Structure 1
């Protein structure tokens, strides 16, 4: 009976608050435990393989080997800063509740033990900051030495690629404010310089394209919640150059569906559409005009699947994040349907395949969009409508039908050519016979 009374008192208290605390709490979340309906499709894509950052995978047996290196890195960090650990602890203690509120959900072990939580943030944050500093350093291996197991030659080849991949997992994030505080504590530049170090590691192509307007481009990214959020914003940065913009038609305003689910790169090419590489690698730098479909360059390597799936999971779970990544992957799914499509796009410099065979890349795109909810995107809808209308022109359909029927198989093509020659010879022979008849008369 006492337990029932406690439960009812709790409910009454929540009713009195009228959900105000709940609404405020939702606005603070930015790092999420991914639900099973997403992870069940590809569980490995969401789990760290080398190192844990944050509370969700802290202490896992397979990741414990890196814990001693976190402590070692912290000593290097403090020695270089020449400041006591107590001062650093105080800096993070002031924002401890804000850091905890970033996680949804958060186990009670971290909620009830603030010192333990701050210790984790310091260890993980220092490791990330040192990782970024060494990667961006002009001095090889810096103060860690050439034989360092993590930051030396051996670690550079065998360890750091896995760490880089683990930094882009949604469940493996720490709030960006931790890195800001640590960076200020070490006197190693402002927020924009920190962002530049992260981008230079994870998306250096962004810096290449933005070199002329670098500071403006970094500032345009705005406030970022964590590294995955920053990386996502560099991927969807709107291109500065002007691209053709299709007009919104009455049909589109009514919400008519212009599906191109059966429009692979091969079929689009056969319908008269040409592919070309966009000027930048921004996933927003795509357009269709005059029979030309321009697409950004995508490097498909061994971390592409994990990265895209975690980006899409973030968009799925974080209210207000947007759906640009999800929309783009769903847009590319029918275009990259088979190995032949990968070969076409690779030949145009759009897909850079470092993963394996063309079949592997096609399977990757097909699997990433599996059971993903349809994400509405105005720009993609416009491009899709233009492609749909282009392919629906009668002469385009006849051309595609001719290619599909007679030019898909080389033997069929040979038979067609032989048939045409035979038909022409028959006509010539008939004309010759008729002329001979009149001549004899």
Structure 2
């Protein structure tokens, strides 16, 4: 007779249940387990370099930072925004709750590593309360900040939504809304707006576009359904303004539109070194980060404004591109390209003079340090457009005249003292020649 099995320890039981759940998921379709993921916990291997860049300062959205004490003061303002949203829509809270209950599984599946103990995954409840409250607050902030109306429905002395206070608080909220761990599924905003507007939801992307790109005349109406606010913002960074949407590379000849068949290894020079090789920098009419080109000695770059939020924004968008399969790598490619051509403050100063960098951050040295730090431990992605630009620049710099020109500039014209020394040497050489000629003429005359 076989001995009866020993009773399992509770920890062993939990582990067995966990493995069986994962086994069932794999048997169904392993790909489906990650299909809906779009909001990620940033791994320590990334946050260790700059932890603060991934942390919200004034407001949390979603479950990841909900319990952090320093963000609790915003909870009462979220509740007030919810009341204003419900009052203006004229719809009951029950309608919004039921609408989101129908898609609660999709909303939960959007989050990577959602804490099931805190949020009781699969039941709605507290999780849906969070989605509705945060979604209404986000919509109210964007509406009031972009409406331009003195009477936005809130009291003139409201601590958050009054015109005066919005000017101060909106930049912080804009920053926090672009943190990867601080995203809400866009489905929440689509559902809320659809109920409030009797089925119309297509203006949510446009509202986000106005909130972040108010003066840039970009068309967000045709984007379709997106993942979250960061996804919409990233598209906006790569989008041309409407007035230059159809602008082609009219200044390029056919020979400039293609890379030479003779491949050369791309060389990376700084802005100053490229200038010494005869390359001129020019700002583009558009600020799309994809819009970088090189033709006929001109390197054209989009205009970028650098301020206190730039570091956090780029790091979070680059992390999204790194973690989300299919997101693309255009923003990471742009940042790595700028890191290559910016070595020190002189490079930033030249780009600032050409109107390419608008510096609201600090000194030119601080901006150079910022771009150099963004690419720490970042794997260089392949980007067809920028690879082609770098190839053309390499071919230009390796032409004999441009190569010698760069050497001369670097050797003799880098500083005023070398220029002065060269001028003095040439002057003395000219005097020596004149003296020799005078001596020969005098000899023949005698």
Length-normalised TM-score, structure 2: 0.91
What displacement does 1:246 show? 3.5
How many pairs align? 427
Q: How does 1:18-167 map to 2 (within 5 A)?
A: 18-108=26-116, 109-112=118-121, 113-167=123-177
Partner of 1:233: 235
1:247 to 258, 262, 269: 258
Deviates more, 1:419-428 or 1:395-404: 395-404
Alpha-carbon distance between aligned partners in 2 of 1:9 and 1:27, rounded to the nearest angstrom: 23
Partner of 1:397: 403
Show CA shifts across 1:345-365 (max 9, x none). 111110000111111110100
Alpha-carbon distance between aligned partners in 2 of 1:182 and 1:250, rounded to the nearest angstrom: 54
Partner of 2:3: none
Show CA shifts across 1:187-214 (max 9, x none). 188443221111111123542xx4xxx4
CA separation of 1:264/1:114 partners in 2, compared to 1, >3 Å: closer, same or farther?
same
What displacement does 1:222 show? 3.5
Deviates more, 1:330-339 or 1:289-298: 330-339
Gaps of 5+ in 2: 1-5
Contact preservation (8 Å) 1:206, 1:234 = no
1:218 to 196, 217, 221: 221
Alpha-carbon distance between aligned partners in 2 of 1:248 and 1:202, rounded to the nearest angstrom: 36
Q: How does 1:341-352 map to 2 (within 5 A)?
A: 341-352=347-358
Partner of 1:279: 285
What displacement does 1:21 show? 3.9
What displacement does 1:247 show? 1.6
Aligned with 1:352: secondary structure? Answer: strand
Alpha-carbon distance between aligned partners in 1 of 2:159 and 2:17, rounded to the nearest angstrom: 56
Contact preservation (8 Å) 2:279, 2:297 = yes
Contact preservation (8 Å) 1:45, 1:309 = yes
1:192 to 194, 198, 202: 202
What displacement does 1:372 show? 0.4
Partner of 1:427: 433
Aligned with 2:300: secondary structure? Answer: strand
Partner of 1:290: 296
CA separation of 1:258/1:347 partners in 2, compared to 1, >3 Å: closer, same or farther?
same
Aligned with 1:144: secondary structure? Answer: coil
Q: Which has the higher helix share?
A: 1
Partner of 1:386: 392
Alpha-carbon distance between aligned partners in 2 of 1:187 and 1:6, rounded to the nearest angstrom: 46
What displacement does 1:25 show? 2.2
Aligned with 2:299: secondary structure? Answer: strand
Contact preservation (8 Å) 1:332, 1:365 = yes
What displacement does 1:34 show? 0.4
Deviates more, 1:150-159 or 1:114-123: 150-159
Alpha-carbon distance between aligned partners in 2 of 1:16 and 1:94, rounded to the nearest angstrom: 24
Show CA shifts across 1:228-268 (max 9, x none). 0000011112653212464244455xxx64141xx111110
Give RMSD over aligned pairs. Answer: 2.0
Aligned with 2:56: secondary structure? Answer: coil
2:181 to 171, 179, 194: 171
CA separation of 1:106/1:8 partners in 2, compared to 1, >3 Å: closer, same or farther?
closer
